[in-house]
Each structure stands twice: as structure tokens, then as C-alpha cells.
């Protein structure tokens, strides 16, 4: 290996430098975002901003909104790999984020499971982290500290570029990583920008007799620039002790005060404290009134309790932090209207606090459940501002396909790329490739297999063509694997449920049809190598649309089948009384335009209110006509499925 030139004190680990002695660069990939849901905003507002309808499954986020809510800003919740997400935000947000808080995983063996509640009984079931989250964790600690430091350094460099000149970052860690992260943050942000190491102290059961019990986390506070960063000490004043308040015996129109000597040379009282009132009457020049401030300035150790099991704030995340902790950080280092971000947002504490304090926010997490929990948490905040749920969707998949199988630079390369993609997917699914067919790509046992494209939803026409080819070849079973699906392509094909209209068509053609979701895990090398990729049938629900009166419709859920029931322990599954117990949340877009889901009505379970209405509120249209209603259902594991219903309103 070439000699490495070390010109300053820094933390070095295996893999930080290339073989030629150069520092490894952080990949900076800029991909377009897809808006998959808009919450708390009217369709009229959306149409006014859009100036037209985009006939695709999702809107592409263009980033043209202003910097205030009045100018059209919408807060953003992003599902995806934060390295790609941050790289994609740089174009619009470099130097614009005023405060960043991150709580990255900082322990080998950390617990990323969560508890979710089932049905009206609130029976709790613990769900282990998803394969994608487990893979990210495995990658983080694949070679111990070196791989962890590689992961966190690449993200800190992007975070630095996103911070505004007056911005700051708080990095949450504990005794395991505090020392190394301090050195790494010094390198990335500059030692001159280090402001504090805050000790968050908490009370928990005492469990060690070998050493001092570890009852604090460390939070490293760095500014983007050495001076001029936002810090509001008066916003985080701490209450005075009773003993301190008692010292301020006197009161006037300005408040409580105590009498103090001015410290004048030759004065008989010098700098004495709490002098007698007679001195003020007889020698006012020697005395002054010291008024009691609203509180005392905060120090760098904070006594804030962890969230207890009975707290209304608790959402079932092992790593959930108390809102009081984040409120102190946000009040001190941001102002109303400032932009706050958390790229390991987990259960959404940072975003919920930012929303309550009037800050704009961007949140990101790799976990589907984290996004769902955060969305519900935000919806529970009174007067929550509009926000969008985004991902990198097909653009991330296109990037993965290009990196994994080669770029489509010419027709021959494009064909080879497609061939390698299909062969890879068939191998993962345990199927063998077949040749000479137009719409069938492989065979698994008795079933033919069709694989959807990376960059487009599987369409009804596409499935029909594959079904026709099966019928022509006298094949009686077809498995379709897809990343995204045209509306109406949903439902398991079994004897218990009727199945979707597409399954009815398949039955008439003499073919059993299975629609299987390609999980995001296929893009993760370690998950593939370890055989962790599972293809699930799409969840299916039935809904009934009624028109109780003129120009008015209502939606009623009448059935739901989840492909994830085997994730629930048998002892808990036996307590599930009805199909609706599997549903955690459902929402309706009353006028779907084949683009972004616009939440027009929503119902969901909370820890306090377990009952879930299965009939929506009535919705009245301004005028009669044909409308497409989109219903979205999310199960207790955060998996969502949607179906469209075309209605004519009279």
C-alpha cells in the first residue's frame, strides 16, 4: 500500500484510505424523488400548484416550493437509504438546513425491533427488524468499528454540506462510540466548531456491581461555522430551585429581587449579598437590586427521564427518545420557520417536536414501519402542516440496475443488462429461465414466471399477455413478480378470498394467478447472499362504495387478507378474532388522478383508541360525474396496498 500523508491529527482505520494512499471519496448520487402521498392538503391546492395532471403512478418532486408555508413549502418524510437521500437533497438543500439531529445505531447487538398492537384488544406483538434494516445493520458492523466508521463518515460529510452557515448538528451516541465519533466529527466539521459534549442523564434500574452504572448518553454538538451559529439560551432556561427563589425576598413592578452590595472600594458593605433594606434607603449608591431571571442558564448535563411503558408518548420503539430531549435541542439551536432534519428519524420524535414548535422539517428512515409510525404520529398533532411522503422509487432501482448489471449505453448493452436482470431475479425466486417466449421469463415447478420491469408498474395488459401465453401453452399457473402495480392488480388467489378482478380473468382462462411483491431487499448484496429475500403475495381487501344521497359517497371495508400472517406468533394469531384486526390504518383519496395519493379521509388506531371505523365519513362532490376513488390500507406491520374504484356520482 502506498504511503499515506498524515498532516493533522485524525482517526485512521482500515479502509479509510485507498490502496494508492488517497482518501476514499463519498459517492454522491443525485436521484429524483417520487411523491407517493400528500397529507393534509386539499386537491384544489395541489391542482393549483401543478397546473395540470401528470398521468403516472407518482408525481416527481420538482423542489419548486418556497421556503415558507405561505410560499408553498411542504414538510418531507422520505423512505429510503439516507446516503442516497442526502445525496439527492444536495441540489436543492445544500447550505439550507439549519439544524440536524441524528441518532444513528451505535451499538453492536442494538435492538431495532418494535412492538405493534393488534385489533381492538391492543394485544402486543414484537416484530423483528425487516431484512432491509437487518442488512443495513449487518453492513454497518460487518467488520466491526472500521465498517461503522466508514458508514458514519460518509454520512457526516453529506450532512456538513447540507448545513446552513448558521446551522448546527447534534450527534447522539453512547459510551461505546463517543470517543471515536468525537475525533471523526472534529475531522469533518473542524475542532474549532465543537461546542459541547452534552450528557443526557436518565434514571433506570441499577444493574451493575462491577463498575459505575452507565446512566447517560453523549450528544456531540457542532456548528457549521465557529461563530454566528444559532443558539438561544433564553429559550431553554431551567427552573430555579426553591432555595434560590427564597433568596429573592422582595418584589416590585419588575418582579422578585434581592439587595446586593455594588462592590465599591471603601464601601462598608463591599459586595455583600442580601444586605438589609436600610442600606438602600440610606445609601442607595452602595446597593443595587438583583432581579430573579425567568430561569437559570442550562448546563451540558441534562436530567431527562426515558419514556416509561405507560407514557402516552410511547409508540413501541426500543430506541425512541423523549420529546423533552429533542425540544430542548430544537429550542436552543433553531427558530420558528427554520428547517430541521433527522436522517435516522425512527419513530419520528424529532419531526413531531419540530411540527409542534413551528419548524419546517425533513425526515428519513430506511424502515417501512418507521415511516408509518411517524406518519400516524404527525397526523395526531393538532393543526399539523401539510407534508409529503416520498421515496426514490424506480430511480433508486434504475441506479441499482445500472451499478449491478451495467449501464444502457447502447442497444446491445441494454439487452444484456435486461438479460442479466431477469436471470438474477429468476435465481432469487428459485426459478429456471425459459427461452423463446414473449412474456414468460422462467418456470418454477409447475408455474410460469413473469418479471416486471425495474422502472415501470406491472400493468393489467402485461399480465393479460402473460396469461394468454400461458393458456396457449396449456400452462395452468402464473407467478407475476413486480416492484409496483397498476391499480386493480391486487389480491391473493386462494379458496378463502374471492381475489381481485384480475384473478377472475385468470380463472376464466384456466390459469391460477399469483401476484408477488419484489422486496427492496433484492438490491442489498448481503441480503441476497444470505438468502434473506422473501417474495410475498400482495395483500388484498374488498371495499363497498355506496351513495347515501345525491353527489355523496361512502366507502366501507368489507374484507382484508394479509400475506404476512406468518410473521405473527401462533399464540397471538389465535387471539385475532376478525379480519379487521390486521388493519392499522386506512385512507381515501376521493378524486384520484393516477398520480399522488391525496389523503381526503383517514382513520387509524392509536394506543388510546383501538377501535377502527370500517366505514368512512360521507364525502360530497361539488358536481356529478365520473370519479376514481383510491383506497389505501396499511396493515399492522406497515405494509400498504391500494385499490381504485371507478364510480359515477349522480
pLDDT single digits (tens) 417-463 = 788 899 999 999 999 999 889 999 999 999 999 999 887 788 888 99
Helix (H) or strand (E) holding 46, with range, is helix 43-50
pLDDT tens for residues 4-23? Answer: 777 888 999 998 998 888 88
- Provide the 8-state DSSP code for 236: G
Beta bridge partners of 168: 99, 223
What spatial distance separates the first Cα and last Cα of the chain, rounded to whole Å?
A: 77
Spell out the residues 6+ positions from residue 610 whose beta carbon is closer than 8 angstroms to its own. 117, 119, 120, 121, 122
pLDDT of residue 493 exceeding 70, the answer is: no
Mean local confidence (pLDDT), 532-551: 86
Closest among 286, 290, 298 to 274, alpha carbons compared: 290
Quick one: average pLDDT of 18-43?
Answer: 81
Instruction: Write the pLDDT tens digit of every residue in 284-310.
Output: 999 999 999 999 999 999 999 998 877
Q: Is pLDDT above 80 for 630?
A: yes
pLDDT number for residue 44: 44
Give residue 458's pLDDT. Answer: 87
Strand order in the sheet with 432-433: 432-433, 442-444, 447-451, 477-482, 512-517, 536-537
For the chain, list the domains and their CATH numbers: 239-291 (no CATH), 400-529 (no CATH), 540-649 (2.60.40.10)
What angle is formed at CA 226 by the lines to CA 224 and CA 231, rounded to 5 degrees?
75
Per-residue pLDDT at 69 exceeds 80: no
> Averaged over 108-122, what is the pLDDT?
59
Better-predicted residue by pLDDT, 188 or 650: 188
Region 580-595: mean pLDDT is 88
What pTM value is reported for the model? 0.82
Is the pLDDT assigned to residue 414 strictly greater than 90?
no
Predicted confidence at residue 521, as pLDDT, reads 74
Sign of the Cα torsion 540, 570, 585, 355 reads negative
- The residues, any chain, with a CB within 8 Å of residue 206's CB and separated by 6 or more, are 213
Label residue 563 by pLDDT band (50, 70, 90): low
Q: Residue 489: what pLDDT? A: 64
For residue 464, CA distances in Å to 93, 109, 357, 431, 458 come to 44, 47, 52, 21, 11
* CA-closest candidate to residue 88, choices 154, 152, 162, 32: 32
The SS3 of residue 530 is coil
φ and ψ of 373, to 5 deg: -60, -45
Residue 55 has pLDDT above 80, yes or no: no
Check residue 314 and give its pLDDT.
Answer: 85
What pLDDT, on a 0 to 100 scale, did the predictor assign at position 42?
44
Q: What is the mean pLDDT of the chain?
A: 85
Question: Helices (DSSP H) in 430-500: which residue ranges?
Answer: 460-472
Angle at 16 between CA 15 and CA 20, to 5 degrees: 80
**What is the per-residue pLDDT for 608?**
78
580: pLDDT strictly greater than 50: yes
Q: Using pLDDT thresholds of 50, 70 and 90, give the confidence band for residue 495.
A: very low
| 191 Cβ contact list (under 8 Å, min separation 6) | none
Question: What is the band of 536 on the pLDDT scale with cuts at 50, 70, 90?
Answer: confident
Give 46's pLDDT tier (boundaries 50, 70, 90).
very low
Residues 194-207 have pLDDT tens digits of: 999 999 999 877 77
Quick one: cell of 447? 408455474
At residue 135, does pLDDT exceed 70?
no
Provide CB contacts within 8 A for 446, sequence distance 6+.
475, 476, 477
User: Is 111 or 552 the better-scoring residue by pLDDT?
Assistant: 552
81 is written with which cell numbers? 437509504
Residue 532 has pLDDT above 70, yes or no: no
Q: Are 577 and 119 in contact (CB under 8 A)?
A: yes
Bridge partner residues of 591 (DSSP): none
566: pLDDT strictly greater than 80: no
What phi and psi values does residue 570 have, to the nearest 5 degrees? Answer: -60, -40
Query: Long-range CB contacts (< 8 A, 24+ apart) of 112-116?
Result: 112/137, 112/318, 112/319, 112/367, 113/318, 114/316, 114/317, 114/318, 114/369, 114/373, 115/316, 116/316, 116/369, 116/584, 116/636, 116/637
51 pLDDT exceeds 50? no
Q: Is the pLDDT of residue 52 over 50?
A: no
Question: Given pLDDT bands bounded at 50, 70 and 90, which one contains residue 127?
Answer: low
- Percent of the chain, pLDDT > 70? 85
370, pLDDT greater than 80: yes
Alpha carbon distance 356, 379 (integer Å):
12
The predicted pLDDT at position 470 comes to 97
Question: Residue 204 corresponds to which cell in the numbers above?
Answer: 433506570
Amino acid at each position: 500500500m502506498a504511503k499515506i500523508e498524515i498532516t493533522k491529527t485524525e482517526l485512521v482505520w482500515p479502509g479509510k484510505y485507498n490502496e494508492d494512499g488517497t482518501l476514499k471519496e463519498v459517492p454522491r448520487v443525485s436521484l429524483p424523488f417520487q411523491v407517493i402521498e400528500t397529507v393534509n392538503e386539499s386537491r384544489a391546492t395541489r391542482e393549483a400548484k401543478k397546473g395540470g395532471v401528470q398521468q403516472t403512478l407518482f408525481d416527481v418532486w420538482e423542489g419548486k416550493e418556497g421556503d415558507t408555508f405561505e410560499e408553498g413549502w411542504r414538510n418531507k418524510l422520505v423512505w429510503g437509504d439516507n446516503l442516497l437521500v442526502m445525496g439527492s437533497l444536495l441540489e436543492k438543500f445544500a447550505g439550507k438546513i439549519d439544524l440536524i439531529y441524528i441518532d444513528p445505531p451505535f451499538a453492536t447487538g442494538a435492538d431495532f425491533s418494535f412492538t405493534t398492537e393488534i385489533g381492538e384488544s391492543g394485544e402486543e406483538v414484537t416484530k423483528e427488524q425487516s431484512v432491509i434494516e437487518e442488512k443495513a445493520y449487518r453492513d454497518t458492523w460487518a467488520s466491526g468499528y472500521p465498517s461503522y466508521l466508514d458508514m458514519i463518515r460518509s454520512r457526516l460529510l453529506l450532512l456538513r454540506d447540507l448545513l446552513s452557515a448558521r446551522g448546527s448538528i447534534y450527534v447522539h451516541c453512547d459510551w461505546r462510540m463517543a470517543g471515536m465519533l468525537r475525533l471523526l466529527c472534529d475531522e469533518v466539521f473542524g475542532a474549532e466548531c465543537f461546542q459541547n459534549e452534552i450528557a443526557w442523564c436518565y434514571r433506570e434500574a441499577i444493574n451493575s456491581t462491577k463498575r459505575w452504572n452507565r446512566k447517560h448518553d453523549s450528544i456531540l454538538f457542532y456548528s457549521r461555522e465557529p461563530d454566528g451559529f444559532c443558539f438561544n439560551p433564553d429559550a431553554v432556561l431551567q427552573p430555579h430551585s426553591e432555595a434560590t427563589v427564597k433568596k429573592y425576598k422582595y418584589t416590585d413592578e419588575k418582579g422578585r429581587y434581592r439587595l446586593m452590595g455594588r462592590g465599591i472600594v471603601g464601601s462598608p458593605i463591599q459586595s455583600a449579598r442580601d444586605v438589609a433594606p436600610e442600606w438602600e434607603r440610606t445609601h442607595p449608591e452602595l446597593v443595587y437590586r438583583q432581579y430573579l431571571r425567568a430561569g437559570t442558564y442550562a448546563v451540558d448535563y441534562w436530567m431527562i427521564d426515558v419514556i416509561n411503558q405507560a407514557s402516552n408518548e410511547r409508540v413501541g420503539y426500543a430506541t425512541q427518545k423523549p420529546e423533552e430531549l429533542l425540544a430542548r435541542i430544537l429550542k436552543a439551536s433553531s427558530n420558528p420557520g427554520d428547517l430541521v432534519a433527522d436522517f435516522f428519524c425512527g419513530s419520528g420524535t424529532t419531526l413531531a417536536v419540530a411540527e409542534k414548535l413551528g419548524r419546517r422539517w425533513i425526515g428519513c428512515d430506511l424502515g417501512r414501519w418507521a415511516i408509518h409510525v411517524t406518519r400516524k404520529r404527525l397526523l395526531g398533532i393538532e393543526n399539523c402542516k401539510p407534508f409529503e411522503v416520498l421515496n426514490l422509487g424506480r430511480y433508486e432501482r434504475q441506479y441499482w440496475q445500472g451499478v449491478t448489471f451495467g449501464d444502457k449505453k447502447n442497444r446491445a448493452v441494454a439487452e444484456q443488462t435486461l438479460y442479466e436482470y431477469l436471470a438474477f431475479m429468476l435465481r432469487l425466486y428459485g426459478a429456471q429461465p425459459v427461452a423463446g417466449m414473449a412474456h414468460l421469463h422462467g418456470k418454477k415447478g409447475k408455474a410460469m414466471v413473469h418479471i416486471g420491469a425495474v422502472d415501470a408498474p406491472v400493468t393489467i395488459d402485461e399480465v393479460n399477455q402473460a396469461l394468454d401465453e400461458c393458456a396457449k401453452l396449456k400452462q395452468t399457473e402464473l407467478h407475476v413478480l413486480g416492484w409496483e402495480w397498476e391499480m386493480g392488480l391486487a389480491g391473493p388467489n386462494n379458496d378463502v378470498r374471492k381475489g381481485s378482478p384480475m384473478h377472475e380473468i385468470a380463472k376464466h382462462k384456466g390459469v391460477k394467478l399469483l401476484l408477488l411483491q419484489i422486496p427492496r431487499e433484492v438490491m442489498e448484496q448481503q441480503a441476497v447472499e444470505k438468502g434473506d429475500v422473501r417474495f410475498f403475495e400482495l395483500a388484498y381487501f374488498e371495499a363497498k362504495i355506496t351513495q347515501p344521497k345525491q353527489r355523496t359517497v361512502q366507502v366501507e371495508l368489507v374484507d382484508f387478507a394479509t400475506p404476512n400472517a406468518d410473521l405473527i406468533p401462533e399464540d397471538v394469531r389465535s387471539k385475532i378474532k376478525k379480519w379487521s384486526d390486521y388493519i392499522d390504518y386506512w385512507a381515501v383519496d376521493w378524486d384520484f388522478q393516477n398520480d399522488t395519493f391525496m389523503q381526503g379521509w383517514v382513520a387509524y388506531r392509536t394506543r388510546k383508541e383501538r377501535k377502527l371505523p370500517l366505514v368512512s365519513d360521507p364525502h360530497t362532490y361539488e358536481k356529478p360525474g365520473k370519479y376514481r376513488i383510491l383506497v389505501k390500507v396499511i396493515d399492522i406491520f406497515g405494509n400498504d396496498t391500494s385499490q381504485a374504484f371507478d364510480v359515477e356520482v349522480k
